[in-house]
Amino acid sequence: MATAASFDVTSNVDLQEVDNAVNQARKEIAQRYDFKGSRAAIEFNRTDNTLTLVADDEFKMTALWDILQGRLVRRGVPTKNLTPGAIERAANDTVRRVITLQQGIPTEAAREIVKFLKEHKLKKVQAAIQADQVRVSAPSKDELQDAIRLLREHDFGVALQFGNYRG
């Protein structure tokens, strides 16, 4: 009997690339004329998976966020996995914004992926939620490739990576 081929759908952010992008953004902020003498800072907390941006006003906050997003995109970090919080007032007449990094597929997105694959009625394709990833299996490699193609075409709100392909 043929063994079932499978792959895992995950959604992770490379924290080292985020750290590199934050360092590059800090260097650019230090050199930019419009940020001279201002209190602009970016802090990266690996344990909480958060980025904290601090600026003098909302205008500088927007510029800071644009710089950081540009650096993250250049480093290959999916911006779909960034959830920016609201801009709030902080100490010393500054504003603060906390951006959360999404690691893994959220439960509701995983359910949506499973439902999406079932709706397309691919032959014998099974999808199972395993913690923060989804395992898709089928007896045919061609069906798995069709499933990958369908998943890439649809937007689930997070960046999807396909790995651990076993055929």
Q: 3 pLDDT exceeds 80?
A: no
* pLDDT score of 97: 93
* pLDDT score of 18: 92
* pLDDT score of 5: 85
State the DSSP string of 86-133: --EEETTTEEEEEEEE--S--HHHHHHHHHHHHHTT-TT-EEEEETTE
Q: 25 pLDDT exceeds 60?
A: yes
* pLDDT score of 167: 67
Q: 64 pLDDT exceeds 90?
A: yes
CA pair distance 40, 149, nearest whole angstrom: 42
pTM score, whole prediction: 0.83
Q: Which residues contact 65 (CB under 8 A, 6 or more apart)?
A: 53, 84, 97
Pairing, β 82-84 against β 88-90: unpaired
* pLDDT score of 1: 42
* pLDDT score of 34: 87
Instruction: Please give the domain boundaries of the chain with CATH numbers for all domains.
Output: 5-12+105-166 (3.30.70.860), 15-101 (3.30.70.990)
Q: Is 138 helix (H, G, I), strand (E, B) or coil?
A: strand
Q: 61 pLDDT exceeds 60?
A: yes
116 burial (CB, 10 Å; 0-12 / 13-18 / 19+) is middle
Mean pLDDT of 124-141: 88
Q: Is 18 helix (H, G, I), strand (E, B) or coil?
A: helix
DSSP 140: -
Per residue in 93-104, pLDDT (tens digit) is: 889 999 999 999
Cβ pair 94, 56 in contact under 8 A: yes
Q: pLDDT class for 73, splitting at 50, 70, 90?
A: very high
Cβ pair 143, 2 in contact under 8 A: no
